[in-house]
Amino acid sequence: MSTSFDPYHKWLGIPPDQQPAHHYRLLGIDLFESDADVIEAAANQRTAYLQELAAGEQVKLTQKLLNEITQARRCLLNADQKQAYDAQLQSQQPVRPVSRPETEPEVPTDKTSRTPSLLAGLGIATSVVLIVVLIVMLSGGGSPGGATREAGVLLIRWETSQREGAVLEVDGESVQILAEREFEVALKRQPRFRHRIAMRRTGYKSIERELTVTPDDRMLIQPNWQRERR
């Protein structure tokens, strides 16, 4: 007998008896986690993974979960909203803590990643803080002409030693690669918040990716280059 597909369980590891999941469980972090970096990294890992699935047959389900991840991130990264949300959780009895898996998932760093690496079938690096996949918006340096923060921001983390012969395109427009190791690109509004990122570098496989970035998102992008085979 077939059973209905449960995306929370299959994709996020949240069993039926823990549904509906609160924000912390949805992101897979400790209950009442207060470290903004931990919250941000967890949200981006979830976002990157779900965006990998968005190209499949379960588009509506992945989009639903992506929206919930975005809402959880916004709430927990806003001090006032988090305080009110935590008070609401504390008033509910019992409050279910998040249990840690036996093997702790790696926290995104510049060098390691367990989530599919950025773009190009290489996926998005764990530190692709696609959105960022995605993070609360800040500045918009290095943006395509006329872009505003109203459509979201990409934080590009790209080692300066990896830029020889490099090209960066966002939604079909060439973007200036700034001298800093990290720089921001403010996005222009696109239908359904879908954006196309392309990164090219001489001697390496091109990286191309479609991302969902909502207006309040700030997503970290870190390319994971693979050499072209001769």
pLDDT tens-digit readout, 117-169:
333 333 333 333 333 333 333 333 334 433 445 678 888 888 888 888 899 99
pLDDT tens, position by position, 49-93: 888 776 666 778 888 898 999 999 999 999 999 999 988 888 875
In this structure, what token pair is assigned to residue 216? 């309040």
Tell me the chain's radius of gyration from C-alpha atoms. Answer: 18
Q: Does the domain made of 7-91 have the CATH classification 1.10.10?
A: no
pLDDT at 6 over 80: yes
Mean of pLDDT over the chain: 75
CA distance 210 to 212: 7
For the chain, give every domain's residue range: 7-91
> What is the secondary structure of 61-72 as a DSSP string?
HHHHHHHHHHHH
CA distance 169 to 191: 18
pLDDT category, 106, cuts 50, 70, 90? low
Cα 70–chain centre separation? 9
Q: What is the pLDDT of residue 89?
A: 85
CA distance 182 to 86: 33
CA triple 19-62-25, angle to 5 deg: 30
Order across the sheet with 182-186: list the strands. Answer: 182-186, 153-157, 218-221
CA triple 191-192-197, angle to 5 deg: 80
Provide the β-strand partners of residue 168: 199
Q: What is the pLDDT of residue 230?
A: 65
Which is higher by pLDDT, 2 or 89? 89
DSSP 21: P
19 Cβ partners below 8 Å, 6+ apart? 8
Which is higher by pLDDT, 131 or 20? 20
CA distance 35 to 81: 15
Cα 13–chain centre separation? 18
pLDDT at 5 over 90: no
Q: What is the mean pLDDT of residues 202-217?
A: 83
